[in-house]
Amino acid sequence: MTAEANSKPQTAKPQTELNAITNAGESGWQRFASNATTIGGAVLLAIFIRIVLFEAFEIDGPSMEPTLLHGDRVVVAKFMYGLFLPQMDEAVTTWGAPDVGDVVIVKSPADNVDIVKRVIGVGGDTIEIRDGVVHRNGAPVPVEEIGDCPEGNQKNYDSTCSTYEERIDGRAYRISRSRHEPQSSRPPIEIPAGHVYVLGDHRDRSNDSRNHLIAAVPVSRIKGKALFVYLSLEAGEWFQWWSRSRWGRFGMSVR
């Protein structure tokens, strides 16, 4: 027999197997690059959402009681009125304006601190306050007493505090004020175009447009509209969060 006949036949590895071996390193790099791209895209999306679309805001103080309580955390829609970038005092550009009754986050003209208030008047309106009663365009805003302020809804308990329902442009919301403290008055002010007049719902404990340093606020200083409460905690230690939680307020829309 010939040597050729006694030799074992030679076989070739399949091309797909050769490709897998040859490109093993490249495939690992491709997977890394793909994962990095996915993570980077998610981070950029989160940054975009945070800067342009939505922002979380913590309520600090009693100025919006009983609508918003000290310790509430709310989601704010930033895209509704303009592009408001971090570390800026005014929007880069605006494309909308709030309606009367909206609860908004304002960069205060007095000290550039974020404050939360309710829009009571818009450009072209005339706002006057007589003994605590808001008058819009010469007519008093309807207000009806509801009852005592619940103690749990007050940062600083006041036994003389009373809750009222106020109605403006067909929207009803609740405010609070003392039954015994003298109520302030303010002369008529005509709101310029592109501005709003804002008040806190707790009329005795709010620094708002009644302060001449704030007055009518440019729309460019409005960071966004408060949408809903996503978390609400009473005062206390961080590890007591379960007992501090106001569970009934979770998911509550801001009216």
Range of the domain at 148: 59-249
Tokens of 25: 């390193």
Indicate if 209 belongs to the active site: no
Q: What is the pLDDT of residues 204-248, one digit of tens each?
A: 999 999 999 999 999 999 999 999 999 999 988 888 889 899 999
Pair 119, 141: CB distance under 8 Å: no
**At a CB cut-off of 8 Å and minimum separation 6, what does 42 contact?**
none
Q: What is the pLDDT of residues 124-135, one digit of tens each?
A: 999 999 999 999
Annotated active-site residue in 107, 117, 155, 223: 117
Between 53 and 200, the higher pLDDT residue: 200
Q: Do the domain assignments include residue 117?
A: yes
Tally the domains of the chain: 2
Same domain, 150 and 40: no
pLDDT higher than threshold 90 for residue 176: yes
Q: Are residues 117 and 239 in the same domain?
A: yes
Residues 30 and 110 in one domain: no
How much is the mean pLDDT over the chain?
87
34 & 79 share domain: no
**Cα–Cα dist 159/156, whole Å:** 10
CA 139 – CA 160 distance, rounded (Å): 27
Q: Could you tell me if residue 106 is inside a domain? A: yes
Burial readout 16-37 (b: 16 or more C-beta within 10 A, e: otherwise): eeeeeeeeeeeeeeeeeeeeee
Residue 245 lies inside a defined structural domain of this protein: yes
Does one domain contain both 40 and 102? no
140 in the same domain as 31: no
Annotated catalytic residue: which of 63, 178, 209, 220?
63
Examine the residue annotation and report whether 63 is marked as an active-site residue of this protein: yes
For residue 52, is pLDDT > 70? no
Residue 6 lies in a domain: no
